[in-house]
Each structure stands twice: as structure tokens, then as C-alpha cells.
């Protein structure tokens, strides 16, 4: 079998010398598939790829020859029940006591085949310097294996956290997950020649101490992983200082650069995947969106090698819902009513299929300073159906010159035929009741701009509306995020429902 070049691998003459660092974090690392998808779409390629723990699964899939679309599809379709296996009866009743709560047999028999991991193809991958990190139990050190030496046992060992799966014997030595040693290996790629590090990171780093047995275990991992990463960040900062002073370090005469992509809040634990509170498609979507925001805001210099970049904030109760609005829309006008009338006359309807995620319902409702995230797709016959948006905003404004008015802003950025467009809509909700409240809550005045934001030229306009059936569907899709208990969940739904729909909430709340 001849070797193949994995997607994202740099060409031989690429001078960027980038490294993609895929860390540990469990099966939540499907998040990193969304990150990689956005990076590849942005044209980034890598001479080096390095994987640890859960990140090794995505690296193994890339080296097996899968493209990122198929990788995302395989993660999204994976049944979590297929990842579970009990230890053998002999292990349970063994005289020498407990070894691990589970067995890795489900990964060997179900997970690896479902994810499309082919070890022969992995070892024969060309055009990439790829490495896997595994903990050596005898030396208590992280051990790096080039991809040409990786077997199924190495990949299983790299996922075998103490107490979760038993360690794996390879050539007479015991190996395990490196998570308690280090969860990402930046220095290895720097020493190998990488000048630009793109690091994905999902291990939580918040000041709050969480209670509960699972949190207790995970927090030990988070402390160890963050501490090891912080040490490497400071070591590379020192390398850059030496380079700035004129020293050549590991062959580098220019400073190492860092791009650090992480969620703003700790991701839900793997347990949430098993209970259905989240799914891999959600995590992939979040990874994609977080990376999109990062790429819009980063600079060529990247991020500082400062431990503070790993800090996250605790999540508060939020809400998610889906909303579809549609209506007459026409190109060549900036007037809402005129665009709506022209669109209806020509039979051109624009439909916006959106999902809204609000991370902190209290801050959103009470201050309007914390925008929600808007994602989805657009149907518009002159352009096509199912046009995906690559970023979006759902926000709230209270105009100072118009007391009693609140503006709900819906904005989606997308690309069509190589041209960037920005769809910007607003609902004007007055403090009133009855028919006016229904109209305000369900009417979106919309303009289409050329470019990446609403400062661009207006090239179309119309009015989108939400029908009764669509409103009932919206309410039925409401999902509370990060609530600690049922009372908090009910309070969150009620708070958002009354904010979003006013007195209409009393009529439609039963559909939530």
C-alpha cells in the first residue's frame, strides 16, 4: 500500500513551518475536528502535527487518509454506547484488586473502525512529520512516537487514563495516557523545527473549585495538564528571549509564534455526551465557530507565551433555540418594504434558518452586553439553498433616544460565488401589548450588505416574518444550557420566554 499525504499537510517548499498541536481532553476532542475544518478552509497547512490522548484520534484519522468533512461526519454519527465495555470477569474478581473501571475493547472493536482509522495507512502517510504522545509508566515521562511506529496498542495506551482503562504492555513496558504528565507537546515540534504553533486547548482553567466525584478526578487532570502547558509556554518564551538576544536556539534565529484556540468556557465533560446533553455535532460546530472568531481577530504575531491565555470563565445558565423566518426579499434596493413587495411579486423569498446560543441569560437580558451566537443557513432562489453562514451574532440594544424600544439584532456572514455577504436584520420591539407585540416579536427588517460586516454597500432588502407554526416550533426547540438543577432550568426558560415574547409567553409556554 503506497503512502498518502494527509489533508492539511504542507508542501515541501512551504517556509511557514507550522505545527498543529492536538491535545488531550477525552472524546470531547471532536471539538478539534471543527477547529481543523476551519483552519483547512482558511488555507493553512502544517509541516508538523502532534497528538496527545483524545487529540491522537483526530490525528490518526487524518493520517489514515480521511478528509476533514468525513472526519466530522464520522464523529457526528458515532453512537456513544459503542464506546463502552466492562473489564473482563477475571479482572473484576482478581485477587490483586481493582485495575480500571472499563475496558478498551470497545475502542478496538467499535470506535477505531467507525472513525476510519487504518493503522497501515497511518504508518505509511507521507509529506508530514507527525508524532504521538504516550505516557511511559516505568519512567513516569512522556514518550514521543513518530507516526511510522504507531500501532493499535499505542493508540489505545494513549487513551488509557489511570482508573479508566488498564495500562497497555508494549515490548515489555507499560504505557498509558500522558494526561497527568502533559496534555500537549509544544517543545517537541519546536525542537524539530516548527516556527509557528497552532495549539487547540480544551482543558478547563477556572478559579472555581467544583464538587462531585467526577469533577474531583477531572480537576486533577486539569491542574496537571495546565501546569505542564504553562511550563512549556514559559520555556518557549525564554527561547524567544534568547533568540532576541542574538542566540540561535534549536536552529531558530527568528522568534517562535503561537496561535492558541480554546473555548471561552470549559466544555461539558464526556459524561454529557453519554447523557445526551451535548452531541459531537454541537462540539464540532463550536470548534468551527470559535476558530472563525479567532481567525477574524488574530494578528500575524499571534498570542503571547503567557500562562494567562489558558484562563476560561465559568458558565452560567444559558439557552439555545432554533428559529426560521422568511419573507419577500429583492436585490437592488435598500428599502425594507420595497424589497419585500418586489420579492413577493417575483416569487423570491429569503429564508433564514438560525440557531441562537446565549451563554449567560442573566447578562444578556439585564445588560445586553453579552451577545449570543447565531449560526445557520440561508435560502434565497437567486443565490441558492442551504448557503451556510460562517459566523453570526444575536444581540440586544436599547436605543438611548427611544425609551421603551429594544432592538433584537440578527446577523449572519456568508460567502456566495467568492463574494462575502453580510445579512443584517433587526426586530423593533416596543413596550406594548396585543397585536403590536405579536408584530414586533415576529417581524425582522433585513438588509443584505456586500462585505464582511454591515458597513458594506446594501445590495438587497426585505422583511422576514415568523408565523404561528414557526413560533410554536421555536418554543419547542428551546434548550437550557449549563443549568445545575431543574428549578434553575425552569427559571431560565421562563426568564428568556418573557424577555423574548413578552405577554405572548403565557400563550406559548406550554410548547416549551
> Is 161 part of any domain?
yes
- What pLDDT, on a 0 to 100 scale, did the predictor assign at position 137? 98
- Same domain (yes/no): 282, 381: no
Residue 241 lies in a domain: yes
Does pLDDT of 352 surpass 50?
yes
Residue bearing cell 460562517:
390
Query: Given this model, what pLDDT does residue 95 score?
Result: 57
pLDDT value for 512: 53
**Domain containing 56 — which CATH number?**
3.40.1090
- Residues with a catalytic annotation lie at 53, 177
pTM: 0.80
Q: Which domain holds residue 107?
A: 18-310
Q: Are residues 358 and 442 in the same domain?
A: yes
With 60 as the cut, is the pLDDT of residue 432 above it? no
Residue 308 has pLDDT above 90, yes or no: yes
* pLDDT at site 24: 92
pLDDT tens per residue, range 379-414:
999 999 999 998 898 887 776 777 777 788 999 999
Domain final position from 261, 291, 310? 310
What would the grid cell of residue 412 be? 449572519
**Does residue 184 sit in the same domain as residue 330?**
no
User: What are 91-133's pLDDT values in tens digits?
Assistant: 655 656 678 888 999 999 999 999 999 999 999 999 999 999 9
pLDDT score for 196: 98
Q: What is the mean pLDDT of residues 361-384?
A: 84
Spatial contact of 54 and 270, defined as CB atoms under 8 Å apart: no
pLDDT of residue 500: 66
The 10 Å CB-count burial string (b at 16+, else e) for 464-495 is bebeeebbebbbeebebbbbeeeeebeebbeb
Question: How would residue 504 be classed by pLDDT, with cut points 50, 70 and 90?
Answer: very low
Query: Would you say residue 200 lies in a domain?
Result: yes
CA–CA separation, 104 and 324 (whole Å): 43
Asked if the structure places residue 101 within a domain, the reply is yes
Helix, strand, coil abundance in the chain, percent, nearest 5: 40, 25, 35
Question: Strands, DSSP E only, in 185-272?
Answer: 196-200, 257-261
Q: Is the pLDDT of residue 250 over 50?
A: yes
| 241 and 153 within one domain | yes
Contact 323, 356 (CB under 8 A): yes
Contact in structure between 360 and 316 (CB atoms under 8 Å): yes
Same domain, 221 and 345: no
In a domain, 169, yes or no: yes
Element (DSSP H or E) covering residue 447: strand 443-450
Whose CA is closest to 262, among 35, 57, 53?
Answer: 35
Give the pLDDT confidence score for residue 398 in this predicted structure.
72
Domain match, 444 and 428 both: yes
Mean confidence (pLDDT) of the chain: 90
Cβ-based neighbours of 474, under 8 Å, separated by 6 or more: 321, 322, 323, 324, 466
Q: Do 433 and 456 share a domain, yes or no?
A: yes
Is the Cβ–Cβ distance between 199 and 260 less than 8 Å?
Answer: yes
State which of 310, 340, 368 marks the end of a domain: 310
Q: Is residue 328 located within the same domain as residue 306?
A: no
Which range (70-79, 82-91, 179-188) has the least confidence? 82-91
Confidence (pLDDT) at 179: 94
> Rounded distance, CA 93 to CA 189, Å?
44
Pairing mode, strands 405-416 and 419-430: antiparallel
Burial class (CB within 10 angstroms; exposed 0-12, middle 13-18, buried 19+) of 57? buried
* Domain co-membership, 277 together with 327: no
- Confidence at residue 363, expressed as pLDDT on a 0 to 100 scale: 82
Q: pLDDT tens digits for 467-497?
A: 778 778 888 888 888 887 888 888 888 887 7
Are both 180 and 144 inside the same structural domain? yes
Total domain count, the chain: 2
- Among 278, 310, 342, the domain-final residue is 310
Q: Which residue has the cell 411579486?
A: 345
**pLDDT for res 89:** 60
Task: Please report whether residue 31 resides in a domain.
Answer: yes
Task: Give yes or no: residues 77 and 172 share one domain.
Answer: yes
Strand, helix or coil for residue 273: helix
Residue pointed to by grid coordinates 491565555: 309
Residues 252, 410: Cα–Cα separation, whole Å: 47
- Distance, CA of 268 to CA of 52 (rounded, Å): 19
Do the domain assignments include residue 260?
yes
337 in the same domain as 279? no
Across the range 336-344, mean pLDDT stands at 97
Would 10 be classed as within a structural domain?
no
Amino acid at each position: 500500500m503506497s503512502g498518502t499525504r494527509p489533508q492539511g499537510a504542507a508542501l515541501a517548499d512551504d517556509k511557514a513551518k507550522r505545527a498543529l498541536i492536538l491535545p488531550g481532553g477525552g472524546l470531547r476532542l471532536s471539538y478539534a475536528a471543527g477547529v481543523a475544518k476551519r483552519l483547512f478552509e482558511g488555507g493553512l497547512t502544517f509541516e508538523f502535527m502532534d497528538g496527545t490522548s483524545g487529540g491522537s484520534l483526530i490525528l490518526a484519522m487524518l493520517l489514515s487518509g480521511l478528509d476533514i468533512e468525513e472526519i466530522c461526519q464520522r464523529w457526528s454519527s458515532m453512537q456513544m454506547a459503542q464506546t463502552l465495555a466492562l473489564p473482563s470477569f477475571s479482572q473484576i474478581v482478581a485477587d490483586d484488586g481493582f485495575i480500571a473501571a472499563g475496558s478498551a475493547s470497545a475502542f478496538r472493536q467499535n470506535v477505531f473502525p467507525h472513525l476510519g482509522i487504518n493503522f497501515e495507512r497511518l504508518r505509511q502517510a507521507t509529506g508530514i512529520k507527525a508524532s504521538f504522545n504516550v505516557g511511559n509508566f516505568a519512567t513516569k515521562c512522556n514518550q514521543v512516537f513518530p507516526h511510522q511506529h504507531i500501532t493499535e496498542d499505542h493508540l489505545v495506551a494513549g487513551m488509557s487514563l489511570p482508573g479508566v482503562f488498564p495500562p497497555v504492555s508494549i515490548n515489555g513496558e507499560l504505557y498509558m495516557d500522558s494526561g497527568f504528565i502533559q496534555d500537549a507537546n509544544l517543545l517537541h515540534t519546536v525542537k524539530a523545527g516548527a516556527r509557528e504553533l497552532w495549539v487547540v486547548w480544551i482543558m478547563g482553567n477556572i478559579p472555581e473549585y467544583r464538587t462531585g466525584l467526577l469533577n474531583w478526578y477531572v480537576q486533577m487532570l486539569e491542574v496537571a495538564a495546565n501546569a505542564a502547558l504553562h511550563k512549556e509556554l514559559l520555556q518557549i518564551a525564554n527561547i524567544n528571549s534568547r533568540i532576541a538576544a542574538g542566540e540561535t536556539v534549536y536552529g531558530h534565529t527568528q522568534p517562535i509564534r503561537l496561535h492558541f484556540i480554546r473555548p471561552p468556557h470549559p466544555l461539558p465533560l464526556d459524561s454529557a455526551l453519554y447523557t445526551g446533553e451535548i452531541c459531537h455535532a454541537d462540539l464540532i460546530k463550536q470548534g468551527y465557530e470559535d476558530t472563525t472568531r479567532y481567525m477574524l481577530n488574530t494578528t500575524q504575531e499571534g498570542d503571547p507565551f503567557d500562562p494567562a491565555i489558558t484562563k476560561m470563565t465559568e458558565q452560567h445558565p444559558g439557552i439555545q433555540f432554533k428559529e426560521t423566518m422568511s419573507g419577500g426579499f429583492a436585490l437592488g434596493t435598500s428599502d425594507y418594504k420595497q424589497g419585500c413587495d418586489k420579492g413577493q411579486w417575483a416569487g423570491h423569498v429569503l429564508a433564514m434558518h438560525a440557531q441562537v446560543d446565549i451563554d449567560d441569560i442573566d447578562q444578556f437580558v439585564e445588560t445586553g452586553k453579552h451577545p449570543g451566537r447565531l449560526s445557520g443557513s440561508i435560502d434565497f432562489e437567486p443565490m441558492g439553498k442551504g448557503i451556510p453562514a460562517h459566523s453570526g451574532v444575536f444581540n440586544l440594544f436599547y436605543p438611548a433616544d427611544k425609551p421603551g424600544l429594544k432592538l433584537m439584532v440578527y446577523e449572519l456572514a456568508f460567502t456566495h460565488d467568492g463574494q462575502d455577504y453580510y445579512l443584517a436584520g433587526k426586530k423593533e420591539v416596543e413596550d406594548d401589548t396585543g397585536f403590536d407585540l405579536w408584530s414586533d416579536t415576529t417581524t425582522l427588517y433585513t438588509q443584505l450588505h456586500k462585505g464582511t460586516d454591515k458597513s458594506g454597500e446594501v445590495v438587497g432588502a426585505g422583511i422576514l416574518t415568523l408565523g404561528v407554526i414557526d413560533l410554536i416550533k421555536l418554543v419547542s426547540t428551546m434548550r437550557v444550557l449549563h443549568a445545575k438543577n431543574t428549578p434553575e432550568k425552569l427559571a431560565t426558560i421562563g426568564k428568556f420566554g418573557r424577555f423574548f415574547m413578552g405577554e405572548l409567553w403565557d400563550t406559548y409556554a406550554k410548547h416549551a
